[in-house]
Chains A and B, each alone.
Chain A
Amino acid sequence: MTRRWRGTALFGVVLASLGAALWAKTTSAESATVAEKPKTSQSPSSSASASKTKPSSSTSSSSSPSRSPNSSPSSTSASTSPTSSATASATSPGNAVVDGNAVDTPYGPVEVEVTWQSGSITKVDLLQYPSGSGRDIAINQYALPILAQEVIQSQSAQINTVSGATFTSIGYIQSLQSAIDKKG
């Protein structure tokens, strides 16, 4: 008689285990974030080993209705660029806004728009990114601000891909590189 419910019981056990695994992963991710936080705040512009998870929490809270692609981490750009007051001088030599190529990925094209101020990248906006499904949007809302953060920190297209969004990352990097090349 008990065998009748064995499959259902097993489902319950499996689901509970998976929930526990998810929780364990969450807590381990959170502790990693907490551990790396002081490091990034001490050296905001130069740390090459910046935490990947840290900016996600800051950008998602600051720009939570980020349904529009223009969800670049403006909060971080303020801290990294001391010349943020010079936004109006778009014609001065170090300032430019350049669109990268639209790069195809299996999930759709990625196209970035890079803003330079006084010769350094201060902002990466997205003109296009894969948003064919809610899952794509969920992943990219998380991944793209991290990529933008990495770009502003490294001032180049030499950045790590974001795990879970590899194809988008690669498309992002290629589009970014094309923008950098265009600016010359």
Chain B
Amino acid sequence: MGRIALRTLITLGGIGVLALWWTGAIPGFTATPALTVTTFGELVGLIAGYLVCVQVLLIARIPWFERGVGLDRLVSWHRSVGTTVIFLVMTHIAFMMLGGMLADGKNPVGEYISILSAYQDMWWATIGTLVFFVVGLTSARLLKSLLPYEWWYWIHVTTYIAIFLTFLHQVSSGTNFVAHPVPRAIWILMYVGTALCVVWWRALLPLVRFARHDWTVATVVPESPRAVSVWIKGNDIEDLGIRAGNFMMFRFLTWRHIWSAHPYSISAPPYQGHLRITVADLGNHSGALRDIRPGTKVIVEGPHGSFTAERAKRQQLVLIAGGAGIGPIAALARDFAGRGFNSVVIYRARDVDDMALLDEVRGLPGTRLIVAPGRRSDLGFDPLAPEHLSSLVPDIRGREAFLCGPEPMMDTATHSLHALGVRRIHAEEMSFA
């Protein structure tokens, strides 16, 4: 299992950092409370510095991580580790300040000023930390839902600068690195290695691939008042191993779209040099895909995700799509039908007019489509509640489930499936990143 392997690897790395601290820590740090507190603060800072690298590597599109874990889960880990890092940074600052204050009896402001002047690169570290906090805040669920994606994206990109700024004080002022050349070299290598991974897999490789495949928008097809399909063509794209259920990162090279890459699920895998994405009107950017002109060049990264037909262990399936989740679900339903499997597709949407790709799914052999439109408040019930789900699909217990949709729908569906005794559930969250 790739997940366990990666978790083990991260834990081992953390133990390595502990060992590095252990050998370099001041031997008699229990001599005074101030020194003990300071030593703990430094240890916390070291682990935070390590987890920052972990966090960046998780989303560096490293193929080994992608295959073993899948980008959607990696992103979710990245989020969790991010929360941890923010708290660790706060703890680090608090302990360093407290340790200093215990030793010299200054107030917090005076202590902070003395730290700024006594050590190198503390101004940079301060700026970097402030950026960290802004990034952390804008990534918190509440604020992120209020911000346009592009804002969030660009605030997030500044994290790379912030990491560099905070890295400086680690190697120039850290007790475990100053006058300890070997640990210092290891630490610098860790950061340089992380940076190289990001540069290669996130920047250079996509450009190399762009040059090779020459991704270009072929046509844009409205599927419903709130959904649009974009067909994209490219050279040799069959070689990329793109499967139904994968998603890819798309950066459309128009003045309006070039600033950020968006993840979209593949609603039709490559066939004769074309693939398709189907996108709902979810945000500023997504809705605007209607205006994309044929001929627009696209930088495409991926494929990502492990939400594919290969994961199925049974031949009886239930596929549940919510809103724009129909894109990958439709592609999966076609894939399963091609394998001769039996699928029930349940499609939830707020409004019947919003529904896309219905005809495509309806005509598939061995596939039953159940359409469940309507807001829960209007319906007076949730079609995905256990009792409704079991009446819609009486033999659901023997099926394997694939879900794709917005987070609340996924929570409900997962809960109901568990209640109905469905064991194997594959989920792809759309509110990715």
Contacts and interface: CB of A to CB of B under 8 A. Distances in A.
A134 to B, nearest CB: 3
B55 to A, nearest CB: 11
A113 to B, nearest CB: 23
A52 to B, nearest CB: 6
Nearest to A20: B18
B30 A139 contact: no
B101 A56 contact: no
A10 B83 contact: yes
A4 to B, nearest CB: 8
A28 B290 CA distance: 66
A64 to B, nearest CB: 8
B35 A106 contact: no
A123 B209 CA distance: 71
A135 B103 contact: yes
A90 interface: no
B164 interface: no
A141 B91 CA distance: 24
Size bin of chain B's contact surface? 35 or more
Interface stretch (A77-85, A164-172, A175-183): A164-172
B4 interface: no
A53 B30 CA distance: 10
Interface in A84-123: 106-108
Contact of B26 (A21, A107, A133, A163): A163
A167 to B, nearest CB: 6
Contacts of B84: 7-8, 10-11, 14
Contact of B118 (A8, A32, A132): A132
A164 B32 contact: no
A33 B28 CA distance: 9
A18 interface: yes
A10 to B, nearest CB: 4
B359 interface: no
Main secondary structure of the interface of A (DSSP, over half): helix
Main secondary structure of the interface of B (DSSP, over half): helix
Contact of A135 (B44, B100, B141, B179): B100
Contacts of A107: 118-119
Contacts of B114: 132-134
Given A7-B83, A142-B35, A134 B101 contact: yes
Given A11-B87, A167-B179, A52 B28 contact: yes
Contacts of A18: 18, 40, 43-44, 47
Interface stretch (B60-68, B73-81, B291-299, B305-313): B73-81
A53 B99 contact: no
B39 A22 contact: yes
Interface in B103-131: 103-104, 106, 111, 114-115, 117-120
B293 to A, nearest CB: 39
Contacts of A39: none
Contacts of B47: 14, 18
B178 A7 contact: no
B80 A6 contact: yes
A178 B84 CA distance: 50
B422 interface: no
Given A3-B76, A133-B100, A25 B22 contact: yes
Contact of A142 (B32, B100, B179): B32
Contacts of B188: none
A156 interface: no
Nearest to A52: B27
B415 to A, nearest CB: 9
Contact of A3 (B28, B29, B80): B80
Interface in B173-199: 175, 178-180
Contact of B29 (A11, A29, A166): A29
B88 interface: yes
Interface string B13-44: 01000100110111111111011101110011
Given A8-B83, A15-B91, A138-B35, A166 B100 contact: no
B288 to A, nearest CB: 30
Interface in A123-144: 130-139, 141-143
Contacts of B102: 134, 138
Interface of B: 14, 18, 21-22, 24-32, 34-36, 38-40, 43-44, 47, 51, 76, 79-84, 87-88, 91, 96, 99-104, 106, 111, 114-115, 117-120, 141, 175, 178-180, 411
Given A134-B101, A143-B26, 19 more contacts: A4-B141, A8-B87, A14-B14, A21-B18, A22-B36, A25-B29, A26-B29, A52-B27, A57-B28, A67-B104, A132-B118, A134-B34, A134-B102, A136-B118, A138-B99, A138-B102, A142-B29, A163-B24, A167-B178
17 contacts: A3-B80, A4-B141, A10-B81, A10-B84, A11-B87, A14-B47, A21-B18, A22-B36, A52-B27, A135-B99, A137-B104, A138-B99, A142-B28, A142-B31, A163-B27, A164-B26, A167-B179
The 5 closest A-B pairs by CB, nearest first: A7-B83, A134-B100, A164-B26, A132-B118, A166-B179
Interface of A: 1, 3-4, 6-8, 10-11, 14-15, 17-19, 21-22, 25-26, 29-30, 32-33, 52-53, 56-57, 60, 67, 106-108, 130-139, 141-143, 146, 162-167
